[in-house]
Structure 1
Amino acid sequence: MIANSQILMMAITGIISLLLPFIFIVILKRKYKIYWLPMLVGAAIFLVFALILEQILHMIVLKPSVDGQIELLNQSPWLYVLYGVLAAGIFEETGRLLAFYSMKRKYKDVGTAVSYGIGHGGFEAIVVVGLGMVNAIILSFMINSSSPVLNDLPIDMDQLVSDQAWYMYLLAIFERIIAMTLHIALSVLVFYAVMKKGKIYYYFLAIILHALANTSAAMMQAGLLDNISLMYASLIIMTLVTVFLSRMVSLNQENII
């Protein structure tokens, strides 16, 4: 049985993930102009480039078996990590690049990048955490009602859901806050790669930073790292480095006319 208190935590976590984009808007609109179109473009680009195109490449390159096994992961986990982080960086930063080129004539200030980052990171939070919590709540009700459907699943869903520690829900929200901050900072770098002549290397810098930020999580997935504290420490450090670099780039640029 899944306790009602745990189901409530799932619901609260899911609701907060839905509210995160609006919380970022309230906080950042004091300093930046927030635009709705770039925000929607950020969400759309994440959907197309990360959830569709990147996944198609994964199917082609990784060729997962029917039971989900991936040969590359088993034979060469480090190569799997390298492929995974570079694929994420290249697809998402290329999406940003094309988005800013398409909006270049109308949206010329850094608020465009901030808005895009909120849309990109906010939509990711909704997909990763929000939908994840919806699935967990549905499973919880199925478990509590002893649904016969659970008998057809290959794993013990009761054990999987009930073993989730309460603080993991807080970590999920914390991780999304860090990830959204990272996406905003990366958006600023790619924005200036487009808006400032001769600064295309900011785009390549964004790819590298994105890949490095994802490395510790990919290592955990590949079984090369089992310390969750180190994983989050690495993510926080790379996010702070990216924020610092994007801030320095922003301060060093002239006003774009």
Structure 2
Amino acid sequence: MVSVTTLMSLAIATLIVAALPVVLYKKARARFGINPRETILGVAVFALFAMVLERALHGYMLSQASTTAWLTNPAVFVVYGVLTAAFFEETGRYLAMKWLVSREPSALERPGVGLAYGIGHGGAEAWIVGVLVQAQWILYAVLANQGTLDGHFSSAPIEALARIHMVLATLSPVSATIFVVERASAFVFQLGFSALMWQLLRERSRHALGMLIAAHALVGLPAALFQARLIPLLAADAVYLVLGVIVAVALVRYYRAAAQAAL
């Protein structure tokens, strides 16, 4: 059984994460002249590069006995995890922004393009990796409380059903709070990566892609260390909470200054 308090906490947490990109888009659209095409491009790039291409590589690596054994080494797993995520997402971000510039060179005069793209890229991650997954667990919890969960998975392996029950047993208001911290921080980081990439392109930097891959890999390090069971979850989330606040403050200052400069 999952308590009503836990279910309410999970539902509220899911709604908060779902609302983040929508609310920011509505507030920023008029102020920064956001073009919906730029936000949609961010959604498409995340879906293609992170959910299709990156996952295809993971599937291939895990299907090979040699690479699977190689990835059992925690250090190799961490390096592989942070670099692949950084490479695919930042390459997609870079190519998308270069495409925008090729279509509209004058777009470089608008700092809001980075924000528009970031809302799409980060919003897609928030919804695909966060909202939809959490909604699934809420549904499983409701079915478990009704006593019908096992019936819905009658054809599933017993090990898979056992894992579902194990996860449901760990759900709590605390896990809902952790979910908000993780997803909100990830959304802020995507906004930050997008703003930084766009600013570097505006400055005609030749090192934009390399710098963003390195920055993305560093930010992904705590999560990879947790997945490799080298640090506890609370330590990783504490890092993301602090970094998320720092990046959020920096973004507010950056775009506030940009808005004032445009007056």
TM-score when normalising by structure 2 = 0.82
Distance 1:192 1:15 in 2: 31
- Give yes or no for the alignment of 1:190 onto 2:197: yes
Distance 1:56 1:222 in 2: 21
CA RMSD of aligned residues (A): 3.1
Name the residue aligned to 1:101: 98
Give, as a single letter, the amino acid of the residue that structure 2 aligns with 1:148: G
Q: Map 1:1-257 onto structure 2 (within 5 A).
A: 1-28=1-28, 32-63=32-63, 70-74=68-72, 76-104=73-101, 105-106=103-104, 107-108=107-108, 109-144=110-145, 145-146=147-148, 147-150=150-153, 152=156, 153-154=158-159, 155-197=162-204, 199-226=205-232, 228-239=233-244, 240=246
Q: Is contact 2:181–2:241 with CA below 8 Å preserved after alignment?
A: no
Moved beyond 4 Å, runs of 4+: 26-31, 236-239, 241-248
Distance 1:31 1:215 in 2: 35
Percent of paired sites with the same residue: 27
Structure 1 counterpart SS, 2:229: coil
Structure 1 counterpart SS, 2:230: coil
Give, as a single letter, the amino acid of the residue that structure 1 aligns with 2:92: G
Distance 2:12 2:223 in 1: 24
Per-residue deviation, 1:26: 4.5
Q: Is contact 1:117–1:183 with CA below 8 Å preserved after alignment?
A: yes
Q: Is contact 1:64–1:70 with CA below 8 Å preserved after alignment?
A: yes
Q: What stretches of structure 1 of length at least 5 have no aligned partner? A: none
More helix by share: 2
Kindly tell me: are residues 121 and 177 of structure 1, through their superposed partners in 2, closer, same or farther at Cα, counting changes over 3 Å? same
1:77-130 deviation line (CA, Å, top 9, x unaligned) = 111110110111111111011111111143331101001111111111111221
Give, as a single letter, the amino acid of the residue that structure 1 aligns with 2:230: L
Per-residue deviation, 1:172: 1.2
1:28-56 deviation line (CA, Å, top 9, x unaligned) = 45863322111111011000000000011
Kindly tell me: are residues 162 and 194 of structure 1, through their superposed partners in 2, closer, same or farther at Cα, counting changes over 3 Å? same
**Would you say how many aligned residue pairs link Structure 1 and Structure 2?**
248
Q: Is contact 1:35–1:111 with CA below 8 Å preserved after alignment?
A: no
Structure 1 counterpart SS, 2:32: coil
TM-score when normalising by structure 1 = 0.83
